[in-house]
Structure 1
Amino acid sequence: MNTTVNAVLFKSKTLSNGAHPLMIRICQNNKKKYKSLGISIHAQYWDFEKNKPKRNCPNKEQIINLINDKIKEYSEQIIEFKSINKEFTVTTLVEKVNHITVFKTVHQLFETHIQKLKEERRTGYALSFNQLFNSLLEYNGHLDISFSDIDVLWLKHYESWLRLSKGITDNTIAIRMRTLRALYNVAINEKFVKAEHYPFKTYRVSKLAQETLKRSINKSDIGAIINYKTNHEYTIFSIDLFLFSYLSGGINFVDLANLKPNNIINNQLVYTRKKTKKLIKIPLQPKALELITKYRNSDNPYLFPIFSTFHKSDQQKANRVHKVITKVNKYLKEVGKELNIPITLTTYVARHSYATVLKRSGVATSIISESLGHSSEKVTQIYLDSFENSQIDEAMKNLL
């Protein structure tokens, strides 16, 4: 199936000024399709044998560049179709190439992408895009702009505004910029902007990265938290959730909230992490089993009283997690201050402490990594899966 693409001056149509439209002609199996290049030329300036402007044609170089660029687009698309053995017609080829002309504003893509994430039940990720969306609206006043308007200078001004006007730290700015970069890549993939406008080749998000503040505590601090005496019911609940996370592979709050009895298999905690979709298998320590027994209620399908039968939709669950974790962290912070723990105590400290306590106890980094951030978390879990359960059991005995 041979397909040819060339430029022609369409003499069958004469405009009011006597010129003819310049067209791209695609031929395949005796079928032809014409696509206007948006300009017209008088016949006296066109070489009909070579199908190109004559030497004396006004704006000759610009016209040649326009022709070459468009022919290149069609040629590259033909190669892409052939590389995957995809059948195509002149019509589907033209539609595919000219999809680049579809325009969608930054505002519109934000809305459709956030909705898509919600439909995929990626509520937390959708929330990140929604936070960025609101921040950009506050900064720019509106987002009825094209992605090509977001250039390096625009990004630098937004960065300065976040830092100077909003008092936001570099790490948080980096998160905002990574989210915006992700949306820009979606825009490129969906042909709403050309890759040549991509500003993140020059504007480096990595320059914003700072060394993360210490988020872990040692075994003696863990012991002090366990032995903390109080009659306040919610403080006790907050400490118990912190301890369960610490003893259960640093399980994060969202996954902990979603745990049900069927997540306990042969004294192991088995669940799929919501954020990474990774299957996690962690031996349950005796104290962790005690906590499960303490909070287990036959009227509630969940192991811990964070969700109930009332919380059905993803949005209801997201709202509930936000409400509970805020309250839990409030009481953990108070406990930490009273115990003179050197950092602000939160549920996330349990996650980091799980890793660092094992590392300081001499556990090999191949079994558990000190860092449980986005970049290394998957690697850590792959290592955990590759070892015998007995090795993980032995390692986790170092937690208390």
Structure 2
Amino acid sequence: MASVKVKFRPSTVSGREGTLYYQVIHNRVVRQINTDYKLFASEWNCHSEAVILHGIPNEQERNNYLLSISSRIKWDKDRLDKIIQTLSQSGTFVTDDIVMRFHDNRQEQSFNAYISQQIARLKRLGKIRTSETYTAALRSFCGFMNDKEVLFDQLNADLLTEYEAYLKGRGNTPNTISFYMRILKAVYNRAVEDGIAEQRHPFKAVYTGVEKTLKRAISLRDIKRIKGLDLSLNPNLDFACDMFLFGFYTRGMSFIDMAYLKKTDLKNGILSYRRRKTGQQLFIKWEKCMQEILDKYPENGTEYLLPIITERGEDYRKQYTNELHRVNHLLKKIGKQLDLSIPLTMYVGRHSWASIAKSQNVPISVISEGMGHDSENTTQIYLASLDTAVVDRANKKILDLL
């Protein structure tokens, strides 16, 4: 029976990354399959043939890269095992047959495996958030298929229509369904570009648009009500309220940008930060209301300004996501306490700042700059669903003329 081993080839240059390759052995004949997976000798366990992750939180980006290599190795080895099994069932074969099949096995690659490959690529590129959305779409699709592999020629309009019905049956909104479909469609189109699949337009019968979202902003009066709350007897609710208000005070700053604010970002009365979504550099005048929130909490033991990421020995991203879920859960309790018309979340604060600015006749260009949007078109789209009251009043004037 043929066997496959994963080997590490160190670089000939000291201090440089080496590469991994597969050693295929059959009937004592050895062949190599090279890869472009690069890592350092300290990141590879030659005995267990496994990637070694860094134990330091600051090395999270490197760990994401190493995890993607680990995923690709598993995927490659699964392919090689299937090739060997197929060749064994067909009769006699030589080692070169395995290598040839591996290099020319595109038509046998499943849609699921190709998505996993794209997730690994996104991690290597450092696009962690996008890789997470792709993972969510893959998980949903695999749930529909009961974890059964789907070949590209099996991916047709009928199957996707059934998947759409499955999502509706689970109570997913049209925008959520479209979210999954658009990701799967993007992966499929990339496979077509790579020559792995033939363009058969399997997504033509399912919804991939974006419905206008419900209003996600509250009024200035409601912001004042939130600010006026006395939550001193409930520190958890008080903290969630403070984070909401801080995001509003800082022109609708997103929670991820708040979490990664560093103490060194606040200098000479100016808070400067770079948006993690767009990379745009923003500057905010530091106001008394912002300092009052900061003064309520002991100085963070990390390099970060706010008490969101507080532990040095833990995954920073995990701390941020856990805190976001916790704060949003607590904010919804506050919203119910105030009998707000919509669920209160951190994102509502961002929408509310834009909506209130618009109601005060602040120019779109100024709102766009304040929120760190990359164009006014983005802001126009953003504001389109925030408040329909102006349109309703205009319509009433017209109807009153009848």
Same fold (TM over 0.5): yes
Q: 2-side partners of 1:113 and 1:154: how far apart?
A: 22
CA RMSD between the two structures = 3.0
In structure 2, the CA distance between the partners of 1:362 and 1:108, relative to structure 1 (3 Å rule), is: same
Q: 2-side partners of 1:126 and 1:290: how far apart?
A: 38
Matches within 5 A, 1:157-196: 157-164=162-169, 166-194=170-198, 196=199
1:279 to partner: Cα distance = 2.9
1:265 to partner: Cα distance = 4.4
Q: 1-side partners of 2:153 and 2:279: how far apart?
A: 34
1:320 to partner: Cα distance = 2.0
Contact 2:274–2:281 (CA<8 Å) still a contact in 1?
A: yes
1:248 to partner: Cα distance = 1.1
**How many equivalent residue pairs?**
277
Alignment correspondent of 2:285: 283
In structure 2, the CA distance between the partners of 1:311 and 1:151, relative to structure 1 (3 Å rule), is: farther
Q: Which amino acid aligns with 1:365?
A: I
Deviations 1:87-123 (A, max 9, x none): xxxxxxxxxxx98956431221222222222333332
Alignment correspondent of 2:215: 214
In structure 2, the CA distance between the partners of 1:171 and 1:311, relative to structure 1 (3 Å rule), is: farther
Q: 1-side partners of 2:313 and 2:190: how far apart?
A: 32
Contact 1:296–1:304 (CA<8 Å) still a contact in 2?
A: no
SS of 1:197's equivalent?
A: coil
Alignment correspondent of 2:53: none
Deviations 1:355-385 (A, max 9, x none): 0010011111222159x8xxx94314999xx
Alignment partner for residue 378 of structure 1, among 344, 366, 374?
A: 374
Alignment correspondent of 1:256: 258
Q: Does 1:364 align with 2:363?
A: yes
1:291 to partner: Cα distance = 2.3
Alignment correspondent of 1:232: 234
Alignment correspondent of 2:114: 109
TM-score (normalised: structure 1):
0.62
Q: 2-side partners of 1:136 and 1:242: how far apart?
A: 35
Deviations 1:233-264 (A, max 9, x none): 11111111001111112111112111102223
Q: Which amino acid aligns with 1:146?
A: L
Q: Does 1:336 align with 2:338?
A: no
Larger radius of gyration: 1
Q: 2-side partners of 1:106 and 1:382: how far apart?
A: 33
Q: 1-side partners of 2:106 and 2:328: how far apart?
A: 49
Q: Percent identity?
A: 29
Contact 2:266–2:272 (CA<8 Å) still a contact in 1?
A: yes
Contact 2:164–2:206 (CA<8 Å) still a contact in 1?
A: no
Alignment correspondent of 1:323: 322
1:201 to partner: Cα distance = 5.4
Unaligned runs of 5+ in 1: 1-97, 384-400
Q: Which amino acid aligns with 1:340?
A: D
Q: Which amino acid aligns with 1:379?
A: S
Matches within 5 A, 1:193-208: 193-194=197-198, 196-200=199-203, 203-206=206-209
1:327 to partner: Cα distance = 1.6
1:138 to partner: Cα distance = 1.0
Alignment partner for residue 140 of structure 1, among 125, 136, 145?
A: 145
In structure 2, the CA distance between the partners of 1:267 and 1:147, relative to structure 1 (3 Å rule), is: farther
Q: 1-side partners of 2:348 and 2:378: how far apart?
A: 22
Deviations 1:252-283 (A, max 9, x none): 11121111022234433322222233333333
Q: Which amino acid aligns with 1:251?
A: M
Alignment correspondent of 2:310: 308
In structure 2, the CA distance between the partners of 1:269 and 1:238, relative to structure 1 (3 Å rule), is: same
Deviations 1:54-88 (A, max 9, x none): xxxxxxxxxxxxxxxxxxxxxxxxxxxxxxxxxxx
Q: Which amino acid aligns with 2:345?
A: T
Unaligned runs of 5+ in 2: 1-102, 380-402
In structure 2, the CA distance between the partners of 1:330 and 1:190, relative to structure 1 (3 Å rule), is: same
1:322 to partner: Cα distance = 2.8
1:135 to partner: Cα distance = 0.9
143-152 or 123-132, which moves further after superposition? 143-152
TM-score (normalised: structure 2):
0.62
1:307 to partner: Cα distance = 1.0
Q: 1-side partners of 2:191 and 2:182: how far apart?
A: 14
Contact 2:142–2:148 (CA<8 Å) still a contact in 1?
A: yes
148-157 or 236-245, which moves further after superposition? 148-157
1:215 to partner: Cα distance = 0.8
Alignment correspondent of 2:35: none
SS of 2:340's equivalent?
A: coil
In structure 2, the CA distance between the partners of 1:149 and 1:99, relative to structure 1 (3 Å rule), is: same
